Structure 1
Amino acid sequence: MMNALEKIQRQIQWNRLIAVVEEQAQTMIRTAFSTTVREAGDLSAGIFDLQGRMLAQAVTGTPGHVNSMMESVNHFLAKFPAGTMKPGDHYITNDPWLGTGHLHDLTVVTPAFHDGKIVGLFANTAHVIDVGGLGMGPEGRSVFEEGLYIPIVKCFSEGKPNDTFFDFLRAGTRTPAELEGDVYSLCACNDAGARRLAEMMAEFAMAGLDDLAGFIFDSSLTATLAEIAKLPRGAWSSSITSDGYEKPVTLRAKVTAADDHIEVDFAGTDGLSSRGINVPAAYCRAYTCFGLKVVIAPEIPNNWASLSPFHITIPEGCILNAPRPYPVSVRHVVGQLLPDLMMGCLHQAVPDRVVAEGSSCLWNPPLRGGAQVSGQGAELPDFEVITFNSGGTGARATQDGLDGTAFPSGVRTMPVEATENVAPVVFWKKELRADSAGAGKTRGGFGQIMEVGAKGDAEFAINAIFDRVANAPRGRAGGGDGATGWVGLTDETVLRTKGFQTIAKGKRLRLLLPGGGGMGDPTTRDAALVERDVADGLVSPAAAKALYGR
């Protein structure tokens, strides 16, 4: 048994390890080519032991990436055992079923050495702008239409690039320089982590990571089980509906609290779609675990042990367990509803610890232009760009929801200047959307209004991937629903919420992003807070009177 001084030293080493993986993530942000990484932070980074178990993750990153990446390292080890790895090797894949759920996410795994011995593995994932195919959107009817499919292969061998791999990579994308640069960035960030780890191990005279891993896992599991023990015993069911593609899609779940684990069963969830809104199982588990953990054990670091008490059953044939080769490109529009679904269950057990439903699904329109849209008469050079934006989050028990903030994904809103700098587009309007927040004792967060055009009002296209347009974010405990979204043009023409559509010359895209649901009886809201929102132009006088009686 460790004495007090040894425990303190292990805690210091653990904190240092988190600093190492955070520097790993920041290296990627500083060196990435894609704006999705360097501006939005759509990435994850972490360190794993030689059994493929996640020890620590960077604070920077998204749960959809890091929690599914946790599973992916074992797939790499199955093909390339740790004993065969050498310094300077880097391995890569974007297989949706071995990684984070769609082809636009690259996952790189790199061995870390100390004193000539392999001691651990660094892994990261990043969302890149383009991998060819139909582009990021729901239109594909199989994964093979959705882009370049990379199995687990070496992209660097002992520090030397795999030229054949990079030839295929550049040939398979509309943005070859950016994609190749991103791969180099992912490898560089793992190298940065490996260097810092070696320095740390030398400083603490560590021969390996096994003892530290044991301390991290034992501490995390013990703490998580203690939090689970505080829950009432029971089972709670809920459902939530996505707009879907061909028709609405309802997700159903039952959460059961046992003495030493939490069970989630998605029995009754609707079946698979013919288009790319399907969710691979690893991505489903990732956001399910996140939704549970932020309520049950939010202060406990994310690692293999702290996630292990969450047991998840996903029936075959449902939209949350898509098999190969079903299309999965925009799995997030369904998968990012899962934390709201988990909170719908847990609200029945710990109502003061959950939030109301929010916008949830990112509003990240892929925009395209040039000859690939307009043919020989194109007024613009070819471009492909994605911009990340969010509606409002749901209200909390004691605080209002957050405006225009990504939850559960956690990505940052991309500055319009950054997007305008890399593509010939203009953001004519980006502002908070008045009266979009669900009313309540605590109100939801406000959505946004966005108007986007191409330079010179030239023709361009959007691959729409939006949700919460037909199904509003619901309030809880008597709170009002948030406003639904809307997709169309500035002349009030309505567009489809999913799918590739051309925006004619002289026209501009208009997006109304959803607001978050409210919490509690609106008539009990502090009058001063209502007056402040009215004064700020966020709640109209008519809505204040109708909803709050003020």
Structure 2
Amino acid sequence: MSKETALAEIRKQIMWNRLLSVVEEQAQTLIRTAFSTSVREAGDLSAGVFDTTGRMLAQAVTGTPGHVNAMAASVGFFLEKFPIDTMREGDVFITNDPWLGTGHLHDFTVVTPTFLNGSVVALFASTSHVVDVGGRGFGPDGRQVYEEGVCVPIMHLAHAGVMNQSLLEMVRANVREPVQVEGDLYSLAACNETGSRRLVAMMAEFDMETLTELADFVIERSHQAMLDEIAKLPKGTYRNKMRIDGYEKEVDLVAALTVKDDGIEVDFEGTSGVSTYGINVPLTYTQAYASFGVRCIIGGKVPNNAGSLSAVRVTAPEGCLLNAPHPCAVAARHAIGQMLPDVVLGCLEPALEGGVPAEGTSCLWNPMLLGGHGLVGDADYGSATPFAINVFHAGGTGARIGKDGLSATAFPSGVRNTPVEVTETISPLIVWRKEYREDSGGAGRYRGGLGQVMEISHLEGAPFAISAMFDRCIHPPRGRQGGANGMIGKLRQDDGTMMRGKGRQPIPAGRKLIMEMPGGGGLGDAFARPLEEVAADVRSGFVSPEEARRSYGVIVRVDGHLDEAASLKLRSSAAAE
């Protein structure tokens, strides 16, 4: 390689890195200006820059795989409706169509063209989850998408710099939190504008008139890097299935992953058919999380863009749960779609000779909590403060290779837990308890991450309601390589009344809601876990003395000290049996 060629390659890499900085600033603008807690506190969003053909060149690190990877496909739909040559400076486009965006009506995707010298040179896109879109409210109880809220087709949010007031008025009239939702739409437009300004400044600095050369460099290098990583795998087809709770009945997620010379193909033929409730998954969301599952293990260091994504192809038969056609209800598509990385990792386990983590909670435990007239069943809400709040919380992840699982951590979405103080500030709720759930992580050489327990009531003594979208209440996260399963989740009231894992349910006045979240599966033989690590878990409250003895063969005295001699004797006796 000549000196000039080497310098040109370095220059392109510098510009590529600058693109990553631009989209991260774009995402941070969205977080700083967002009204809803799901974006501001939990980071449930995506941000990215695209070339004029709709190829994603860079994504912000901040954001969820479901939003990012589905958004990568959605920009193409915007270009079909509004070709580049029809766009004008100041135009901003928007949709929350589940099949053209990121899978359900609560996610709005906004696309903004970036102009330089009168021509479009790039597109910025962003997505965020809003607190309410009307209809039944956020939850799995809808029977068709028409019941789940207002659907905005791909259209102008702003035309030549003027906001579409008719659209904003329609949205305000259909949602329970009009200020929050309208504010979030403005924040999406604002973050794209930030990205556009930073990109124009970057192009001026590098004396660039178009992004074409840089875009081709980014896409080609990323695609080849993924193919190089895939080439290290043994060719063949690998299969896995997972049974989960579903809603009206249990469902099976069935996958076949094929490693080929030109990439990886994941097919979900054999998966259960569509549900009559709102847990169905549009194909773009299935593709987003299935491809992410591959990327967790294969090519994790390769930047995520159209080039690397194109090396993983995901299909599912139309009419199955993972390729639900319109007008299926899809509001809680995340409860199913976020299971897919664990399904894919199960496929990869034999190809990688066991080098994958155990199963985790996977689905978020993000209840929609509501109070107001008609929302609490037949109970009288009286003059109590009406509210609607969506809070994000998580169970434990599966044990990792060489490490324990992460406790109360959202995988695969990566969103953060909503702080208790925020929940209590913006709603008439009080959180009495939020702590790790002892013994919830599956036993193993590496222990599964712990779930958490939360106890919530209405500060004003009124009834309230939960719209539950939880899984792993029947079927636990499975351990691998001899590790134990994680503990299943439970939803109940403080008087012992058990509640369903999915659906809107009232909590009577004076009662407390208790959410006990699942733990992750363990990895490897629990008797291979060092004695002192088990004793440390007991002292930390992660594992009870009874569980330490039963599952790990370790005796910890009342004072918290390890009884090494007795533990070795117990393990030896158990091994002899």
TM-score range, shorter chain: over 0.9
Identity of aligned residues (%): 55
Q: Which residue of 1 aligns with 2:444?
A: 440
- Offset at residue 370 of structure 1 (A): 2.3
Select 2:236's aligned residue among 214, 234, 237: 234
1:228-307 residue pairs with structure 2 within 5 A? 228-307=230-309
Cα distance in 1 between the residues matched to 2:374 and 2:411: 34
Q: Which letter does structure 1 place at the counterpart of 2:434?
A: K
Q: Deviations over 1:25-66 (max 9, x none)?
A: 000000000011100000000000010010000000000001
User: Where does the alignment leave 5 or more consecutive residues of structure 1 unmatched?
Assistant: none
Verify the 8 A CA contact 2:287 2:315 in the aligned structure 1. Answer: no
Cα distance in 2 between the residues matched to 1:209 and 1:161: 28
Q: Deviations over 1:274-318 (max 9, x none)?
A: 000000000000000000111111111100010101122211221
1:351-370 residue pairs with structure 2 within 5 A? 351-370=353-372
Q: Which letter does structure 2 place at the counterpart of 1:410?
A: G
Quick check: 468-477 or 153-162, which moved more? 153-162
- Offset at residue 496 of structure 1 (A): 1.2
Secondary structure in structure 1 of the residue aligned to 2:272: coil
Residue 211 (1) aligns with residue 204 (2): no
1:151-550 residue pairs with structure 2 within 5 A? 151-373=153-375, 377-550=381-554
Cα distance in 2 between the residues matched to 1:196 and 1:36: 26
Q: Which letter does structure 2 place at the counterpart of 1:463?
A: S
Q: Which residue of 2 aligns with 1:35?
A: 37
- Offset at residue 115 of structure 1 (A): 2.4
Q: Which letter does structure 2 place at the counterpart of 1:170?
A: R
Secondary structure in structure 2 of the residue aligned to 1:348: helix
Verify the 8 A CA contact 2:381 2:462 in the aligned structure 1. Answer: no
Cα distance in 2 between the residues matched to 1:376 and 1:505: 9
Q: Which residue of 2 aligns with 1:139?
A: 141
Q: Which letter does structure 1 place at the counterpart of 2:440?
A: S
Cα distance in 2 between the residues matched to 1:235 and 1:206: 45
Select 2:47's aligned residue among 23, 45, 48: 45
Following superposition, which runs of at least 4 residues in structure 1 exceed 6 angstroms of deviation? none
Cα distance in 2 between the residues matched to 1:152 and 1:313: 25
Secondary structure in structure 2 of the residue aligned to 1:41: coil
Quick check: 115-124 or 102-111, which moved more? 115-124
Q: Deviations over 1:472-517 (max 9, x none)?
A: 0000011000000000111111011111111110001001000000
Secondary structure in structure 1 of the residue aligned to 2:104: coil
Q: Which letter does structure 2 place at the counterpart of 1:198?
A: V
Residue 114 (1) aligns with residue 85 (2): no
Q: Which letter does structure 2 place at the counterpart of 1:174?
A: R
Verify the 8 A CA contact 2:354 2:481 in the aligned structure 1. Answer: no
Q: Deviations over 1:230-251 (max 9, x none)?
A: 0111211000112011110000
Verify the 8 A CA contact 1:457 1:508 in the aligned structure 2. Answer: no
Q: Which residue of 1 aligns with 2:10?
A: 8
Cα distance in 2 between the residues matched to 1:167 and 1:123: 23
Secondary structure in structure 1 of the residue aligned to 2:53: coil
Verify the 8 A CA contact 2:381 2:463 in the aligned structure 1. Answer: no
Secondary structure in structure 2 of the residue aligned to 1:254: strand
Residue 128 (1) aligns with residue 124 (2): no
- Offset at residue 159 of structure 1 (A): 1.3
- Offset at residue 352 of structure 1 (A): 4.8
Secondary structure in structure 2 of the residue aligned to 1:473: coil
Q: Which residue of 1 aligns with 2:572?
A: none
Verify the 8 A CA contact 1:490 1:509 in the aligned structure 2. Answer: yes
From the superposition, tell whether residues 377 and 311 of structure 1 become closer, same or farther in structure 2 (CA, over 3 Å).
closer
Q: Deviations over 1:121-161 (max 9, x none)?
A: 00000000000000011111100000011000101111111
- Offset at residue 22 of structure 1 (A): 0.3
Larger Rg: 2
Cα distance in 1 between the residues matched to 2:233 and 2:531: 35
From the superposition, tell whether residues 54 and 435 of structure 1 become closer, same or farther in structure 2 (CA, over 3 Å).
same
Verify the 8 A CA contact 2:492 2:499 in the aligned structure 1. Answer: yes
Verify the 8 A CA contact 1:379 1:458 in the aligned structure 2. Answer: no
Quick check: 134-143 or 366-375, which moved more? 366-375
- Offset at residue 351 of structure 1 (A): 3.7
Corresponding pairs, count: 550
- Offset at residue 454 of structure 1 (A): 1.0
Q: TM-score, normalised by structure 2?
A: 0.94
Secondary structure in structure 2 of the residue aligned to 1:428: strand
- Offset at residue 377 of structure 1 (A): 4.7
Cα distance in 2 between the residues matched to 1:230 and 1:58: 28
From the superposition, tell whether residues 376 and 483 of structure 1 become closer, same or farther in structure 2 (CA, over 3 Å).
closer
Quick check: 478-487 or 379-388, which moved more? 379-388
Cα distance in 1 between the residues matched to 2:234 and 2:384: 60
Quick check: 16-25 or 234-243, which moved more? 234-243
- Offset at residue 418 of structure 1 (A): 0.9
Residue 24 (1) aligns with residue 14 (2): no
Q: TM-score, normalised by structure 1?
A: 0.99
Cα distance in 1 between the residues matched to 2:345 and 2:358: 8
- Offset at residue 376 of structure 1 (A): 6.3
- Offset at residue 354 of structure 1 (A): 1.4
Secondary structure in structure 1 of the residue aligned to 2:481: coil
Cα distance in 2 between the residues matched to 1:353 and 1:186: 39
Q: Which letter does structure 2 place at the counterpart of 1:92?
A: I
Cα distance in 1 between the residues matched to 2:74 and 2:355: 31
Secondary structure in structure 1 of the residue aligned to 2:492: strand
Verify the 8 A CA contact 2:485 2:521 in the aligned structure 1. Answer: yes
Secondary structure in structure 1 of the residue aligned to 2:455: strand
Secondary structure in structure 1 of the residue aligned to 2:350: coil
Verify the 8 A CA contact 1:390 1:406 in the aligned structure 2. Answer: yes
Cα distance in 2 between the residues matched to 1:32 and 1:516: 32
Verify the 8 A CA contact 1:372 1:382 in the aligned structure 2. Answer: no
User: Where does the alignment leave 5 or more consecutive residues of structure 2 unmatched?
Assistant: 555-577
- Offset at residue 379 of structure 1 (A): 3.7
- Offset at residue 402 of structure 1 (A): 0.3
Cα distance in 2 between the residues matched to 1:121 and 1:152: 15
Q: Deviations over 1:363-404 (max 9, x none)?
A: 000000022435765242221001000000000120000000
Cα distance in 1 between the residues matched to 2:342 and 2:219: 28
- Offset at residue 24 of structure 1 (A): 0.3
Verify the 8 A CA contact 1:371 1:381 in the aligned structure 2. Answer: no
Quick check: 318-327 or 489-498, which moved more? 489-498
Verify the 8 A CA contact 1:95 1:151 in the aligned structure 2. Answer: yes
Secondary structure in structure 2 of the residue aligned to 1:24: helix
- Offset at residue 260 of structure 1 (A): 2.0
Secondary structure in structure 1 of the residue aligned to 2:375: helix
Verify the 8 A CA contact 1:253 1:264 in the aligned structure 2. Answer: yes
Cα distance in 1 between the residues matched to 2:284 and 2:243: 21
